A = this chain, B = another copy of it.
Amino acid sequence: MERKTIQKDAIKEAFLSKSRPLRVDEVLLIGRKKVRSLNQATVYRNLKSLVEAGWLKTIHHPELGVFYERAEQGHHHHFHCHACNRLFEIPGCALRKKESALPGFVVERHEVFFFGVCSSCAHT
Interface residues of A (CB under 8 A from B): 58, 60, 62-63, 79, 81, 88, 90, 92-120, 122-123
Contacts and interface: CB of A to CB of B under 8 A. Distances in A.
B102 A79 contact: yes
Nearest to A117: B106
A63 B110 CA distance: 12
B94 A100 contact: yes
Contacts of A58: 62
A119 B105 contact: yes
B105 A79 contact: yes
Contacts of A119: 102-105
Contacts of A120: 104
